[in-house]
Amino acid sequence: MSDLDQRYQAIVARLSADGLINEVFIFEKIEAIAREGHGDAALLAAVIHALGYGCAKDWSKALDWAAIVAERGVEAARAQLRFLADENGDDWRALASRVDVAAWTAARAGRSVNTRPEISMSDGFLDARCCEWLIARAAPLQVQSLVYDPITGRAAQADVRTNTCATFTILSLDLPTLLIRERIANTLQVPVEHLERVSVFRYTPGQEFASHVDYLTPSPQLNAEIAEVGQRPLTFLVYLNQAFEGGETHFLDIDKKFRGKTGDALFWRNTDDAGQPDLLTTHAGVAPTSGEKWLLSQFIRDKPQLLG
């Protein structure tokens, strides 16, 4: 392994560890390694600039880095630029210049489908290309889904949830996914910094996420976390495909089921106007009876989250 690879892998190890990270330190080290010609570091530099991780968020610099690493022959960067510009050329700087960040991140229209709890849908929130991209990115990252343990405050396996899940960290994020996150934030009119990590769920026949709530239930175990990193007032889902039977999102207390077509979004408030949990938001991810169900899931807090 070269010295450059060793330095890059040392940063990867830091980012993979479960603990506080000096974001400015990471940014400076990755920029330096990228400028010395390391392809993976340059691709990570693009993500870092798009996130504002240890630096000011700057989509122009993010796309510049994507073009640089595409010129170095990294196929992942080339695929992202072609996808974002919706062109098949190989002039990477030209493709980067034609990515319309404002159009990608613009808010989409929603419509109310229930008053209490407050539930809405956005038809065609993502087009089929975006849905296919997310499924392809998430498929190899699928692991057993976990649930939030109210005692320990950590994720844990439970019988209530049998589907699989891919949760994107700074090491697995890409520019299309980050632009979709910004579209979600703008649609909900919340700061993108309030979004937790984005996940993509996969359900096969019989797999479900039984009765649960998405808000954090105030308790001696969770009050400190709520005070520090916030409550979850909003949930945003996008149906990434429709080639399955069943698989609805079932709000149990009002006995209403919702299911979108490919690219449709379903979103709701988990708390009332006073910020208290809305008990009527208890819901379940119903198991598909045939086919596979793919779903993007995004939780939103009322305070900024750690990036990455």
How far apart CA 35 and CA 44 sit, in angstroms, is: 12
The Cα 253–Cα 244 span in angstroms is: 25
Tokens 């407050």 belong to residue: 118
**Do the Cβ atoms of 236 and 267 come closer than 8 Å?**
yes
**pLDDT score recorded for residue 236:** 99
Q: Which residue has the tokens 């086919």?
A: 291
Task: Give the amino acid at 14.
Answer: R
- Structure tokens that stand for 134 in this block: 């997310």
pLDDT of residue 185: 98
According to the model, what pLDDT value does residue 154 have? 59
Give yes or no for residue 156 having a pLDDT over 60: no
State the residue for tokens 């940063």.
11
Q: What is the rounded CA–CA span in Å between residue 281 and residue 233?
A: 11
**Across residues 191-219, what is the average pLDDT?**
96
pLDDT of residue 293: 98
Burial of residue 72, with CB atoms counted within 10 A of its CB: 0-12 exposed, 13-18 middle, 19 or more buried: middle
pLDDT at 287 over 60: yes
Q: For position 157, what pLDDT does the model report?
A: 53
- What would the DSSP string read from start to end of 106-155? -----EEEETTTTEEEETTSS-HHHHHHHHHHHGGG-EE--EE-TTTSSE
Under 8 Å between Cβ of 89 and 97: no
- pLDDT interval class at 158 (50, 70, 90): low
pLDDT above 70: residue 139: yes
C-alpha span between 145 and 117 (Å, rounded): 26
pLDDT, mean of residues 166-179: 97
Question: Is residue 159 very low, low, confident or very high in pLDDT (cuts 50, 70, 90)?
Answer: low
pTM for this predicted structure: 0.94
Phi then psi dihedrals of residue 121, to 5 deg: -130, 150
SS3 250: strand
Residue 149: is its pLDDT beyond 70?
no
Residue pair 240/296 in contact (Cβ under 8 Å)? The answer is yes
Sign, CA torsion 266/270/275/279: positive
Interval 256-273 mean pLDDT: 97
**pLDDT score recorded for residue 263:** 98
**Strand partners of residue 195:** 300
How confident is the model at residue 150, as a pLDDT? Answer: 57
pLDDT of residue 306: 84
Q: Tell me: the pLDDT tens digits for 225-245?
A: 999 999 999 999 999 999 999
- Please report, in angstroms and rounded to a whole number, the separation of the first and last CA atoms in the chain: 26
Its CATH architecture, for the domain 111-300, is Sandwich (2.60)
Residue that has been written with the tokens 């698989």 in this structure: 247
pLDDT digits (tens, 9 = 90+) for 97-129: 999 999 999 999 999 999 999 999 999 999 999
The 8-class DSSP code of residue 279 comes to G
Q: Is the omega angle on the peptide bond into residue 150 within 30 degrees of 0, that is, cis?
A: no
* Residue 20 pLDDT: 78
Spans of all domains in the chain: 3-99, 111-300
Say what the pLDDT of residue 31 is: 97
pLDDT surpassing 70 at residue 19: yes
> Which residue shows structure tokens 């495909």?
241
